[in-house]
Amino acid sequence: MRNSGNSVTLRLWQVLLLAAVFVGWHVMTVPGILPPLYFGDPNRAAFLFGEPLKVFSRIWHWFWGGDIYRHLWVTLIETLLAFAIGTILGIAIGIWLALAPVASAIFDPYIKAINAMPRVILAPIFFVWFGLGIASKVALGVTLVFFIVFFNVYQGVKEVSPVVLANARMLGASPRQLLRYVYLPSAMSWVFASLHNSVGLAFVGAVVGEYLGSAEGVGYLILQAEGVFDINTVFAGILVLTGFALALDWIVTLAEKRLMVWQPRSSETERI
């Protein structure tokens, strides 16, 4: 009961903090509420930071009128594909290199070099290779997701307890059984830790790709709004993207709780 009460109190404080942010945003940007001390011109704050009521009105008209669904669907498809492909490749290659020391030593400098490269500079190359459609945005998102998952999986496999590994081998576990019952469970906690960041980066890859060159998507809407200095539409697009990124992160959290049910909680570990 105490934990439930603490959870409700925490959610209440989070909602109050969010409400305070929007109220402060409204007060600072609507002319006439405060004296024009910080920008001189009372309309300048609204021009630079938008007005929350107009931002929410734009979001409402987007969804009520159905204008955003086509663009949002494109962005979500790009994000989900980048997230799925990057995650699968990161897990597969991470496990492979963690279990193959020779291959790991050979590819190590190349992986570090590619990881150090700013991903945005790859966008024009992907546009040339894959065109301005979904494929180029997915490719950019995959480069962002892959390395986070890869390094976490690689480290998770390396962190397998030698005692557990030796006992499993002594009991006659085959390489496939070791992979299924020892290596994968060890890596799963590291995988889910990386997936929470990967969701946001998949969105970044999709939106940046749309921003640099596309004819549809939420990033395209933001770019069009910036071209005519419509700051309210820009913030509306940002809030919509943020909301859907949080929704995907929530889905990852639910999957983590379902798949990691075998893992003891910290409170249980402390009691032991």
Q: What CATH code is carried by the domain that includes residue 157? A: 1.10.3720.10
* Mean pLDDT of all residues in 241-245: 82
Examine the domain organization and report whether 13 and 97 are in the same domain.
no
Does position 9 have pLDDT exceeding 60, yes or no? yes
Distance in angstroms (rounded) separating the CA atoms of residues 204 and 126: 15
Does position 184 have pLDDT exceeding 80, yes or no? no
Does position 257 have pLDDT exceeding 80, yes or no? no
Query: pTM of the full predicted structure?
Result: 0.75
Provide the pLDDT for residue 236. Answer: 86
Provide the pLDDT for residue 268. Answer: 43
Examine the domain organization and report whether 124 and 200 are in the same domain.
yes
Provide the pLDDT for residue 267. Answer: 43
Examine the domain organization and report whether 11 and 105 are in the same domain.
no
For the chain, state the CA radius of gyration: 23
pLDDT band at residue 85 using 50, 70 and 90 as cut-offs:
very high
Examine the domain organization and report whether 71 and 39 are in the same domain.
no
Examine the domain organization and report whether 137 and 219 are in the same domain.
yes
Residue 182 lies inside a defined structural domain of this protein: yes
Provide the pLDDT for residue 47. Answer: 65
Examine the domain organization and report whether 125 and 44 are in the same domain.
no
Question: Percent of the chain having pLDDT more than 70?
Answer: 80
Residue-number span of the structural domain to which 37 is assigned? 1-49
Examine the domain organization and report whether 205 and 111 are in the same domain.
yes
**Total count of domains within the chain:** 2
Residue 58 lies inside a defined structural domain of this protein: no
Examine the domain organization and report whether 122 and 233 are in the same domain.
yes
Examine the domain organization and report whether 9 and 101 are in the same domain.
no
**Better-scored residue on pLDDT, 31 or 239:** 239
Examine the domain organization and report whether 117 and 25 are in the same domain.
no
**Better-scored residue on pLDDT, 214 or 97:** 97
Most confident of 6-20, 96-110, 149-163: 96-110
Provide the pLDDT for residue 16. Answer: 85
Residue 42 lies inside a defined structural domain of this protein: yes
Q: Which residues pair with 42 in a beta bridge?
A: none
Provide the pLDDT for residue 243. Answer: 84
Residue 87 near residue 149 (C-beta atoms within 8 A): yes
* Mean pLDDT of all residues in 71-96: 87
Provide the pLDDT for residue 266. Answer: 44
Examine the domain organization and report whether 38 and 138 are in the same domain.
no
Examine the domain organization and report whether 235 and 104 are in the same domain.
yes
Distance in angstroms (rounded) separating the CA atoms of residues 236 and 250: 21
List the structure tokens of 261.
């049910």
Provide the pLDDT for residue 272. Answer: 43
Residue 180 lies inside a defined structural domain of this protein: yes
List the structure tokens of 130.
């894959």
* Mean pLDDT of all residues in 28-48: 62
Q: What is the mean pLDDT of the chain?
A: 77
Residue 54 lies inside a defined structural domain of this protein: no
